Amino acid sequence: MRTDVAIVSLLFLFSTVFLILCPVYYGSDADYAVPQLVSLLESGDLNLDEYSHLAGKNYQIIRVGERYYAAYPYGTVLLTFPFALLADSLYGSNYLSLHRDEFSIVFASLLMALATCFIYAMGRYRLVRWKSLLLAIFFLVCTSVLSTGSRSLWQQSGSIFLSSVLLWLLEKDRLEQKKILAVLIGLVLGWAFAVRPLTALVTIAVCVYYASYQHMRHRILYIIIPGMLVGVVIALINLQLYGTVLHPYYQWPSQKPVDVLYSLASNLFSPARGFFYWHPAFVLSLAAMIASLRKGADYKFLPFALCIAIAHVWIVCNYEAWWGGHSIGPRLTSDLVPFFVFALIPFLHRMNLRRRPAAGMALIALMFISFPLHFRAAIDPSVGRWNLGAPDVGPGPIWEFRDQQGLAGDRNVRALLMLGPAEQDEPN
């Protein structure tokens, strides 16, 4: 126990320092996260009236009555309010406002560092320490946690954090079966809806999961009731701010028809947005999820994780801006990272470097081969600028292998792969 506490403490410290040292700010939709925190610190509200002159120019700001608010959900912002309180006591709110981009990275990094610790703790229920640590480091540096979750206070940052907490609670509850754990699960699921609307899929899956097994069924009300109470609080906040039960963002917009097969292939496999292109090891996770469908499988939540993944990807692919606009990698599907990391546990559990060293090293190599893509996104601004501004915000270039996003601004790797200079490097 003491050893695990020491490891978690060091892991949190390492994760925080590593993520903060990565310099690239990539906010876009999340540009007004820290200003909301400053408004909360100074006046106890979430309005952005001091930015009213930008309404109509910056898509991130909307007008409701005589007030101005961020166009995106406030759930992630409120998750980091304790960090803002600490920073305010050290620096003052004016300083936070002046350095809003930098503190957005700091707060997001703290959130992702905590998520990494929960992934380690989750892994410890089935893995030895070094394998759990390997899983946590993979989660931190080889997934969208690094390239998206830590670069600003995105919706996905909050979603990734809460899903990591949820998976730890599910594993803990699998063994201990305490009512308080079910209550905590309900609270996490309830607040997750304030973070991102697609988390409703996770709530449905968890409720069906508990209802499917007789030994768990009696605790489902301990999940539903706290979750509903949180939902009531969220609804009251929304009524106070926007005059509606739901945040304006949660209204599905009218849109043009979408080529779903093309968007599906692109979101799964394209060099710019492909979930599996940016996370090759998750092909194994998908295999584990499918294998868990057989009767008697040990990982009973994996079939429900598969349902979450299918529904999430399908909804994203039916959205008009399915490529995520100005994004780095598979941002719109990065919410799924914790579930796919969880699905790697069966492979790590069976990995034996003494008896089958080649298979074990191949697994580790497959996991960490995605590190360069995500690391470059966190340290090289060229990756984020790859499709910044019209007309490249459209889906046109996402299948470009020669001029792919992950290698934007690079010369050395391009030379090794015989890709030639990128378009932006070619002389006019």
Domain ranges in the chain? 2-425
The Cα 139–Cα 160 span in angstroms is 11
Q: pLDDT per position in the chain (428 positions), as tens?
A: 789 999 999 999 999 999 999 999 988 888 999 999 999 999 999 999 887 766 655 788 888 888 999 999 999 999 999 999 999 999 999 999 999 999 999 999 999 999 999 999 999 999 999 999 999 999 999 999 999 999 999 999 999 999 999 999 999 999 999 999 999 999 999 999 999 999 999 999 999 999 999 989 999 999 999 999 999 999 999 999 999 999 999 987 667 888 999 999 999 999 999 999 999 999 999 999 999 998 777 899 999 999 999 999 999 999 888 998 888 999 999 999 999 999 999 999 999 999 999 999 999 999 999 999 999 999 999 998 887 766 556 677 889 888 889 888 888 888 888 887 766 555 44
**Cis? peptide before 391, omega within 30° of 0:** yes
256-286 b/e (C-beta count within 10 Å ≥ 16 → b): eeeeeeebbebbbebbbbbbbbbbbbbebbb
- Its pTM stands at 0.95
Question: Which secondary-structure segment (H or E) carries 159?
Answer: helix 155-176
Cβ proximity of 125 and 174 under 8 Å: yes
Confidence at residue 401, expressed as pLDDT on a 0 to 100 scale: 86
The Cα 150–Cα 140 span in angstroms is 9
Confidence at residue 54, expressed as pLDDT on a 0 to 100 scale: 66
